């Protein structure tokens, strides 16, 4: 035990001297979470609208005001021809164009279907779909209001039948996307640190030639590996505290047990360190270790549900995502933070996370023993 503690102390001293690595890890757990939460969002707001109103009546202005009165549409360009709409769409200054014909009010007054043209920029399909949905809801509400007014003008006081939903939103009543983004960034930060730092630490010893010096010491092979993993595990868990403070700053609720969250983080770190050990058996230098790490990281992250929902993936990718330990860590974190569920609900996720973590870690250790220390 004395020999093991001395090796662990040596690893902590070596780790503390690498200020660039310490700053990188701290950046992943703090600044990156803040920047990504502010910058990354799938919410579509402040769309730019180009309007070609050929009629310029009170009714056509009322339709335009329906767009500007919502938070989804921001700047409005009033143009004098369709070519100006094309120019704005080509330049990327407008997201959609609205063309109101000169007989708009006449068609409405005669009780006919008044057609307007909506031109959408399909460069970003997510933005275009959202804009189409917003515009469709606005047109539906405007048409309903015109129908009621038309009936009232004819002296008909009939109330049109309609369905009025009573919505109850659980876990995130205000539908703030930043809650999901903060949690996903914390999850990804822990996983990235476990993979990259472990791979870099092991490859650095091989690259500098100090691995031979370690092999001639009384230390056993598993003691060397475990000692090198201790700084990554402990630092990764300690830096969760500033991440939780950032989550609190963004207003993310913590409904469940923080102990369960740290337990899930520890198991995920062990799994990610197993991947880092596996990467180190392929890489011959630090540059190769980083490149191979990112080659492994991106597929695992994309299939985890931290960026896009698993349900929106093709069926075969949904099955493939079951092999990603980050998926279970993400589901556990969402359950703890937002739902407030406990062990009785999350134990299947913990079981899968522990299973993959154990398999990855010990399989990587066996491969490391054969390739690096054999």
Residue 217's pLDDT is what?
Answer: 65
Across 136-140, 271-275, 283-287, 316-320, least confident range = 283-287
Helix %, strand %, coil % of the chain (to 5): 70, 5, 25
Residue 269 has pLDDT above 60, yes or no: yes
Residue 315's pLDDT is what?
Answer: 87
Could you tell me the pLDDT band of residue 374, with boundaries at 50, 70 and 90?
Answer: very low
> Could you tell me which residue, 54 or 373, shows the higher pLDDT?
54
Residue 324's pLDDT is what?
Answer: 87
DSSP string, 305-364: TSSS-GGGS-HHHHHHGGG-HHHHHHHHHHIIIII---HHHHHHHHHHHHHHHHHHHHHH
Across 208-217, 229-238, 277-286, least confident range = 208-217
Q: Please give the average per-residue pLDDT across 349-369, as a whole number.
A: 84
Residue 19's pLDDT is what?
Answer: 80
Residue 10's pLDDT is what?
Answer: 75
- Residues 279, 199 contacting (CB under 8 angstroms): yes
Distance of CA 162 to CAs 144, 165, 275, 356, Å?
10, 10, 56, 51
Q: Give residue for tokens 């969760």.
A: 240
* Distance between CA atoms of residues 349 and 335, nearest Å: 10
pTM, 2 dp: 0.81
Q: What are phi and psi of 119, to 5 degrees?
A: -110, 120
Distance of CA 154 to CAs 145, 217, 264, 354, Å?
15, 98, 66, 71
- Residues 222, 361 contacting (CB under 8 angstroms): no
Could you tell me the pLDDT band of residue 160, with boundaries at 50, 70 and 90?
Answer: low
CA 295 to the chain's CA centroid: 19
Could you tell me the pLDDT band of residue 361, with boundaries at 50, 70 and 90?
Answer: confident
Residue 311's pLDDT is what?
Answer: 80
Residue pLDDT, tens place only, 215-267:
656 666 667 777 778 888 888 899 999 999 999 999 999 888 999 999 999 99
Residue 170's pLDDT is what?
Answer: 86
- Residues 102, 78 contacting (CB under 8 angstroms): no
Residue 227's pLDDT is what?
Answer: 77
List the one residue out of 345, 323, 321, 183 whose CA is nearest residue 265.
Answer: 183
Across 77-81, 143-147, 251-255, 268-272, least confident range = 143-147
Q: Give residue for tokens 């503390």.
A: 16
Domains of the chain and CATH, by start: 47-153 (3.40.1710.10), 173-371 (no CATH)
Q: Please give the average per-residue pLDDT across 59-87, as a whole number.
A: 89
> Could you tell me which residue, 297 or 329, shows the higher pLDDT?
329
Q: Please give the average per-residue pLDDT across 343-351, as a whole number.
A: 92
């Amino acid at each position: 035990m004395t020999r093991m503690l001395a090796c662990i102390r040596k690893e902590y001293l070596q780790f503390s001297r690498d200020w660039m690595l310490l700053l990188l890890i701290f950046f992943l757990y703090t600044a990156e979470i803040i920047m990504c939460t502010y910058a990354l969002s799938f919410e579509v707001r402040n769309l730019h609208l180009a309007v070609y109103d050929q009629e310029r009546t009170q009714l056509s202005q009322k339709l335009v005001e329906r767009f500007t009165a919502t938070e989804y549409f921001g700047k409005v360009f009033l143009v004098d021809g369709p070519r100006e709409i094309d120019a704005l769409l080509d330049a990327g200054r407008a997201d959609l164009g609205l063309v109101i014909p000169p007989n708009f009010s006449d068609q409405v007054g005669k009780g006919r279907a008044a057609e307007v043209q909506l031109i959408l920029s399909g460069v970003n399909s997510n933005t275009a779909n959202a804009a189409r949905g917003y515009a469709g809801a606005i047109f539906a509400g405007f048409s309903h209001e015109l129908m009621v007014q038309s009936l009232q003008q004819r002296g008909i006081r009939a109330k049109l039948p309609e369905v009025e939903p009573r919505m109850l939103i659980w876990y995130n009543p205000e539908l703030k996307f930043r809650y999901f983004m903060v949690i996903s960034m914390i999850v990804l930060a822990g996983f990235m640190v476990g993979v990259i730092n472990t791979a870099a630490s092991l490859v650095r010893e091989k690259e500098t030639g100090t691995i031979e010096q370690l092999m001639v010491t009384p230390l056993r092979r598993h003691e060397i590996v475990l000692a090198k993993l201790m700084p990554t595990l402990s630092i990764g868990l300690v830096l969760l505290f500033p991440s939780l403070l950032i989550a609190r700053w963004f207003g993310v609720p913590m409904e469940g047990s923080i102990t369960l969250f740290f337990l899930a983080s520890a198991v995920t770190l062990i799994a990610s360190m197993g991947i880092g050990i596996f990467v180190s058996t392929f890489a011959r230098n630090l540059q190769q270790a980083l490149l191979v790490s990112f080659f492994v990281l991106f597929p695992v992250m994309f299939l985890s549900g931290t960026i896009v929902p698993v349900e929106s993936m093709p069926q075969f990718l949904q099955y493939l995502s079951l092999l990603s330990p980050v998926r279970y860590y993400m589901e556990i974190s969402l359950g703890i933070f937002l739902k407030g569920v406990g062990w009785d609900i999350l134990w299947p996720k913990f079981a899968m996370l522990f299973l993959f973590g154990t398999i990855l870690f010990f399989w990587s250790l066996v491969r490391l023993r054969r390739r690096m220390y054999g």
